[in-house]
Chains A and B, each alone.
Chain A
Amino acid sequence: MSKPENGIGAEALRPHAEDAFAHELKALAAADDRPRPTRWKLSPWAVATYLLGGTLDDGTVITPKYVGPRRIVEVAVTTLATDRALLLLGVPGTAKTWVSEHLAAAVSGDSTLLVQGTAGTPEEAIRYGWNYARLLAQGPSREALVPSPVMRAMADGMTARVEELTRIPADVQDTLITVLSEKTLPIPELGEEVQAVRGFNLIATANDRDRGVNELSSALRRRFNTVVLPLPATADAEVDIVARRVDQMGRALDLPAVPEGLEEIRRVVTVFRELRDGVTGDGRTKVKSPSGTLSTAEAISVVTNGLALAAHFGDGVLRPSDVAAGILGAVVRDPAADKVVWQEYLEAVVRERDGWKDFYRACREVTV
């Protein structure tokens, strides 16, 4: 690992996965006797164990990094082992980036070869750029060339990561096609090329509900195996995730802790899940789904918002009225269609539910 080490490592505000879980990776490498693909730090089995958690024979406890279906992780790891590029799809808040970082850390021991996709990502970020001072002084040469993370990963046989692939403009996205199909990166200015060595692979993440961003071309799509990270499978798991994140964020924002909030959090999660799944929690009644994503991340923000309301303008207890407006905002994205969906849901589901009277009233108040 020739990663630039600046000495702060574990003291960083947010240490890299390979630093934060260095001891687990080490223990896994020691215990791992299965065949490893070239330049992989661990065998596919050990990578899957690293993500899903477990206890090694020597007693080392591997904490689960990803809580979700086992098959998702297995397919993802296997994809990397078959030297196909991996595309992680999912709505916001489904741990795409988290999984991609940990996969790179476990496979290559380095999660920093990262291209962050934005609307302004240039081709240089994926191919290479130039050190212009050198270029002018010496003319085109390997020394004047500034390699991108992808190029470095190709040369060293490491795992490169591209975040938010669909935010990158379509023409820049297509730069990846050569990289993924030919596994080379030509440098016409020098008449050279960089060939990927064994062990190179690429993990991209993208949001599959954000319409309007740059759709992947089918040529590029063909070069990826796609794994969709699902939303939390059960209401309890989701309540747990929301409560934990809200607690963390509340502390960061210096909001007073609200222990009685769990009931409201459960309610928010229930509303989100029911509208998202198009069926009530008891599976008895179908409901229409609004156009918004209603992701776990949005549920978190609704609750945090409600907490702030309760703390600053209320009596500090999270009440239905604190979350009602937030829910309405998250659900009704398209004022015409979504409003019908929401009203139908209120009348057909919420009104009849025991113990939801206050919530129904609060929602009716804001829904006019």
Chain B
Amino acid sequence: MSTARQGPLLLGVRHHGPGSARAVRAALDEARPAAVLIEGPPEGDALLELAADPGMRPPVALLAHAADDPGRAAFWPLADFSPEWVAIRWAQEAGVPVRFMDLPAAHSLAAAGEPDPDRAESDAVRLDPLAVLAGTAGYDDPERWWEDVVEHRGTGGAGEEALGAFEALGEAMGALRETYGDGGHHRDLVREAYMRQRMRAARREFGDGYAVVCGAWHVPALRAKTTVAADKALLTGLAKVKVETTWVPWTHRRLARAGGYGAGITSPGWYAHLFSARDRPVERWLTKVAGLLREEDRQVSSAHVIEAVRLAETLAAMRGRPLPGLTETLESVRAVMCDGSDIPLALIEDRLVVGDVLGEVPDGAPVVPLQRDLTRQQRSLRLKAEAQERELELDLRKDTDAAKSLLLHRLRLLGIGWGTPTASRSSTGTFRETWRLRWEPELSVRVAEAGIWGTTVLAAATARAEADAAAAEELGEVTELAEKCLLAGLSEALPAVLRALADRAALDTDVARLAKALPALARSLRYGDVRGTDATALGAVAAGLAERICVALPPACAAGLDADAAAELRGHVDGVHAAVGLLADADDGLRERWSAVLRTLADRDTVPGVIRGRAARLLLDDGRLEAGETARLMGLALSPAAPPADAAGWIEGFAGGSSGGGTLLVHDDRLLGLIDTWLVGVPERAFTDVLPLLRRTFGAYEPGVKRTLGELVRRGPAASAQAARATGSAPEGFAPDLDPERADAVTELVRMLLASPDGVAAA
């Protein structure tokens, strides 16, 4: 019957439609054309023979990029179930020529500032031809209409029937295009003119016995009778760039991505299943689902599968559909196998409906643009890839060195471990970095692998960081990532990372993890200053984190901690205190709230002594705790009713470590007296328990401080206490009245310290 057909065989398809793919195969088997033309950039013709290579496994994408600017690129993704792929493979098996026929990428990349592979049949902004057709047929969802009418045709019909379907669809599209013209796809007119030119060339070569596989939308335009002159006129004066092409591996996940270079199909896994299932697609699909759920330790029996199939089929019947689609099967899975819950369903969506398939490209494919971009940067930065290990000192204040650092950090983010940062030998300033460089051969493979993230090092690292942020589970991972992003200067990835950070922080219930993350963030803020990265957003996130810590810390400290946990938390209190100090410039209220938290900690009896003592000390240092109040708190903590171990902890928290606690005690004999009195009152049995703790506290003091303290204690607590009482209202160590002679002696020095000519007089 194919003799009745006028002109070439025009197969209008839906890109990535398994039903279309089956129908294309059936139609090609039936018509056996002498050549096949496919929608796609002709620059890819030379690469088509690689499609037959055994090392080639879809999903893959044909990549075209401007030779001098790999960032300007377009991808044509192809999966097993893409009609175009089926046509390519058919032609290769049948041994007939196969060619791409779309407008060359040289023009499309030159024309669009922003590359657009223009497979936009489903683009909601422009006219959606399928939506109109589906609406006419009474469907509210064009995808479902297409599935019912074309995709769910089982075998795609025998050849004859398949041809009929394409015929009918072509006519329907013709009617649509008569009504809507180019429907807002202005570039389509140029593309279609070029396609017609290619078809004319094909006719000269093969007569009418060739086939065309293209988006259904284009069929009427390709059938239209236009003059050569008109088409040529449309094609003159098009801008042009030098283009290079290659195959890159693709993934189902990227097919599913609507934006960027994704094909915007939401269910590649389901389509792959429909395409590969010999028969009974619904039963096989639900069995697959059951298998996945069993792997996840859910009890799913064959009876479940049977019931799910029945429910899906009845649902489809009720909705008047010929076969259950993805919606029906998922709804029946939810009701029958998942107890109505969405959580296992999300797993199914992720693992089966989208799927984890990664394509492969044979070694013979040209190098990926990422490698090219890397080579270019290596050359411009004079950073040779050498197998021999060497050390590189970078001074980040110099432009070239900063650029080198950025490149190395970005590569590390991409998993290309060319350089490893090491501790600097000569200097520890934040503007210095030391790297150990070594180029291993397998790093080239890593570069090729990283090619799926983007075409330039910057773009790839950005995409990778964003993906990592979304996938990270722990708060710590994201904080680290944020730090890396700042180091690598990935300001575009930063919003996504910070968002993930804020989300993780909001959901994390462990205050220790929050507290651990905050200092790192505060540090990052400092790096931001050194490297000139904009870190305002980071500051906001850090402040939010501090806020959450303020709320969650008091209950966490009061929750019956053991000694180790208390000591760990005390460290966190210190870390947060320092971080709040860094952050507080941006937010005054934060410092107030943090002080209030410290105050709560210092006051609350259920908080372990070591934390209470620490909080009191931090408040005292900030001048937020009066000396008298400090003494009151210490007296409470060291009163006989308090367990000695807890009291010793308090002293450790208050006066321990290298934070100048000893000097404080030397100058405030009231505090020293309190400790002394307490120590004398510790019962003998408890004394051995608290001794190690006290030793740790006082042993860390400098020798001079230790000696002075010893002398003070020997003088006796009573004497110093009496002295304090005798001085009346004056602060400890000061006489009640000013001694002008002695004061004059130091004014000169104080003036020098303040570097002000007249400030002291006022003071």
Give chain A's interface residues, CB within 8 Å of chain B: 44-45, 48, 71, 74-75, 77-79, 81-82, 84, 87, 89, 218, 221-222, 225-228, 278, 285-288, 336-337, 339-340, 343-344, 347-348
Closest CB-CB distance, A347 to chain B, in whole Å?
6
Interface residue ranges of B545-572 to A (CB < 8 Å): 547-548, 550-552, 555, 559
B552 touches A222 (CB 8 A): no
Q: Name the residue on B nearest A80 (C-beta).
A: B314
Instruction: For the A-B complex with A347-B547, A347-B551 known, give 7 more contacts whose Cβ atoms are closer than 8 Å.
Output: A75-B331, A84-B336, A225-B335, A225-B336, A226-B338, A339-B555, A348-B548
A288-B311 CB under 8 A given contacts A222-B301, A226-B339: no
A-side interface mostly? helix
Q: Name the residue on A nearest B299 (C-beta).
A: A218
Give chain B's interface residues, CB within 8 Å of chain A: 299, 301, 303-304, 307, 310-311, 314-315, 318-319, 327, 331-332, 334-336, 338-342, 502-503, 506-507, 509, 544, 547-548, 550-552, 555, 559
Most buried by A among B331, B338, B339, B507: B339
| A-B contacts, 21 listed (Cβ < 8 Å) | A44-B314, A45-B318, A71-B327, A74-B318, A74-B319, A75-B331, A75-B332, A75-B335, A77-B318, A82-B307, A82-B311, A87-B340, A225-B307, A226-B334, A226-B338, A227-B340, A286-B506, A337-B509, A344-B551, A347-B551, A348-B548
Closest CB-CB distance, A92 to chain B, in whole Å?
16
Q: Name the residue on A nearest B593 (C-beta).
A: A347
Report the 7 A-B pairs with minimum CB-CB distance, sorted nearest first. Answer: A226-B340, A286-B506, A228-B340, A225-B335, A226-B339, A286-B503, A78-B314
Contacts of A74 in B (CB 8 A): 315, 318-319, 331
A82 touches B548 (CB 8 A): no
B335 touches A340 (CB 8 A): no
Contacts of B547 in A (CB 8 A): 347-348
CA gap between A228 and B335 in the complex, in Å: 8
Q: Name the residue on B nearest A344 (C-beta).
A: B551
CA gap between A48 and B315 in the complex, in Å: 12
Closest CB-CB distance, B172 to chain A, in whole Å?
28
A71 touches B318 (CB 8 A): no
A75-B506 CB under 8 A given contacts A44-B318, A344-B552, A348-B544: no
A222 touches B318 (CB 8 A): no
Contacts of A81 in B (CB 8 A): 314, 318
CA gap between A65 and B327 in the complex, in Å: 24
Contacts of A84 in B (CB 8 A): 307, 310-311, 336
Contacts of A228 in B (CB 8 A): 340-342
Contacts of B503 in A (CB 8 A): 286
CA gap between A357 and B479 in the complex, in Å: 33
CA gap between A84 and B307 in the complex, in Å: 8
A285 touches B506 (CB 8 A): yes
CA gap between A332 and B303 in the complex, in Å: 43
Q: Name the residue on A nearest B327 (C-beta).
A: A71
CA gap between A158 and B272 in the complex, in Å: 43
CA gap between A44 and B319 in the complex, in Å: 10
A288 touches B304 (CB 8 A): no
CA gap between A48 and B314 in the complex, in Å: 13
A225 touches B304 (CB 8 A): no
CA gap between A257 and B550 in the complex, in Å: 42
CA gap between A339 and B299 in the complex, in Å: 37
Contacts of B327 in A (CB 8 A): 71
B507 touches A340 (CB 8 A): no
Contacts of B340 in A (CB 8 A): 87, 89, 226-228
Q: Name the residue on B nearest A226 (C-beta).
A: B340
A78 touches B311 (CB 8 A): yes
Contacts of B301 in A (CB 8 A): 222
CA gap between A337 and B341 in the complex, in Å: 25
CA gap between A228 and B315 in the complex, in Å: 17
Contacts of A79 in B (CB 8 A): 311, 335
CA gap between A75 and B332 in the complex, in Å: 7
A222-B303 CB under 8 A given contacts A77-B318, A79-B335, A82-B311: yes
CA gap between A87 and B315 in the complex, in Å: 17
Contacts of A218 in B (CB 8 A): 299
CA gap between A75 and B319 in the complex, in Å: 11
Contacts of A77 in B (CB 8 A): 318
A343 touches B551 (CB 8 A): yes
Closest CB-CB distance, B343 to chain A, in whole Å?
11
CA gap between A286 and B507 in the complex, in Å: 7
Q: Name the residue on B nearest A228 (C-beta).
A: B340
Contacts of A337 in B (CB 8 A): 509
A344-B307 CB under 8 A given contacts A78-B314, A336-B555, A339-B555: no
A340-B551 CB under 8 A given contacts A71-B331, A348-B544: yes
B339 touches A82 (CB 8 A): no
A286-B299 CB under 8 A given contacts A44-B318, A78-B314, A340-B551: no
CA gap between A336 and B552 in the complex, in Å: 11
Most buried by A among B318, B327, B509: B318
A78-B299 CB under 8 A given contacts A84-B307, A288-B509, A339-B555: no
Q: Name the residue on B nearest A90 (C-beta).
A: B340
Contacts of A227 in B (CB 8 A): 335, 340
A225 touches B311 (CB 8 A): yes
CA gap between A220 and B422 in the complex, in Å: 62
Contacts of A348 in B (CB 8 A): 506, 544, 547-548
A75 touches B311 (CB 8 A): yes
B314 touches A278 (CB 8 A): no
B310: which of A45, A82, A288 is its contact (CB, 8 Å)? A82
Contacts of A78 in B (CB 8 A): 311, 314-315, 318
B552 touches A340 (CB 8 A): yes
Contacts of A71 in B (CB 8 A): 327, 331
Contacts of B502 in A (CB 8 A): 285-286
Contacts of B334 in A (CB 8 A): 75, 226
Contacts of B341 in A (CB 8 A): 226, 228
Q: Name the residue on B nearest A289 (C-beta).
A: B507
Contacts of B319 in A (CB 8 A): 74
Closest CB-CB distance, A335 to chain B, in whole Å?
10
A48-B331 CB under 8 A given contacts A84-B307, A286-B503: no
Contacts of B507 in A (CB 8 A): 278, 286, 288
CA gap between A221 and B551 in the complex, in Å: 42
CA gap between A89 and B551 in the complex, in Å: 35
Contacts of B311 in A (CB 8 A): 75, 78-79, 82, 84, 225
A48 touches B548 (CB 8 A): no
CA gap between A48 and B559 in the complex, in Å: 53
Closest CB-CB distance, B41 to chain A, in whole Å?
39
Contacts of B315 in A (CB 8 A): 74-75, 78
Closest CB-CB distance, B544 to chain A, in whole Å?
7
Q: Name the residue on B nearest A83 (C-beta).
A: B310
Contacts of A48 in B (CB 8 A): 318
Contacts of B506 in A (CB 8 A): 285-288, 348
Closest CB-CB distance, B503 to chain A, in whole Å?
5
Most buried by B among A75, A227, A287: A75
